[in-house]
Chains A and B, each alone.
Chain A
Amino acid sequence: AIRMTQSPSSFSASTGDRVTITCRASQGISSYLAWYQQKPGKAPKLLIYAASTLQSGVPSRFSGSGSGTDFTLTISCLQSEDFATYYCQQYYSYPTFGPGTKVDIK
């Protein structure tokens, strides 16, 4: 199985901050990476696929980059509705998810 790790596991931020979350794969996965946002009690929501392609309807303050083993999710200007947990997921092999990064209010 391809193992996914994320850093940090959690952090506090303020509205308006620029935040970056890192995801690393245990082996090269080309650009077969997706990012999801999950709020408490809700299903995950697809934000980005193919490492950098924004899903339809997702605000442009979200962006993704990377290929191979190292990836980042950036939120350019954090909004109140962005406080949530973020997961990366590779689909190069059978799907596996990262452990999540929780973003809460400072």
Chain B
Amino acid sequence: QVQLQESGPGLVKPSETLSLTCAVSGYSISSGYYWGWIRQPPGKGLEWIGSIYHSGSTYYNPSLKSRVTISVDTSKNQFSLKLSSVTAADTAVYYCARGAMVRGVKRDYFDYWGQGTLVTVSS
């Protein structure tokens, strides 16, 4: 069974960089699939941040692209998110998730999710 677990600081100061890691178990990232980050501000809807392939190929939400970096560490079977210059608007529950593949073709819906981690941006 594929499992994902987010970790990282729960409090980040404005203008600093938010950093989160997603540890994957039950599946080797090196074997394929895309791996993504999605966030949800308290009481609001879902926003896709970006995704990465095991090769390191990335694609990001255009609205966040200038501030986002997603990387992968296949040796640790994990991938990471960095979001720079954060403001209160970046306060959200951050989820990591696996992007689906159908007959070897990437499909950007998400079939396995982590439990989520709340990150608050505040001084």
Contact = CB atoms under 8 A, between A and B. Distances in A.
The majority secondary structure among interface residues of chain A is loop
Interface string A13-49: 0000000000000000000101000000011111001
B114 A43 contact: yes
The majority secondary structure among interface residues of chain B is strand
Which of A43, A45, A96 has most B Cβ within 10 Å?
A: A43
Nearest to B115: A43
A60 B109 CA distance: 20
A34 B97 CA distance: 14
Contacts, number: 50
Contacts of B110: 34, 44, 46
A55 interface: yes
A89 B48 CA distance: 10
Contacts of A87: 45-46
Interface string B43-76: 0011110000000000101110000000000000
Interface in B79-122: 95, 97, 100, 102, 107-111, 113-116
A94 B45 contact: no
B46 A44 contact: yes
B113 A99 contact: no
Contact of B107 (A43, A91, A100): A91
A95 interface: yes
Contacts of A43: 95, 97, 113-116
Interface of A: 1, 32, 34, 42-46, 49-50, 55, 87, 89, 91, 94-100
Interface of B: 36, 45-48, 59, 61-63, 95, 97, 100, 102, 107-111, 113-116
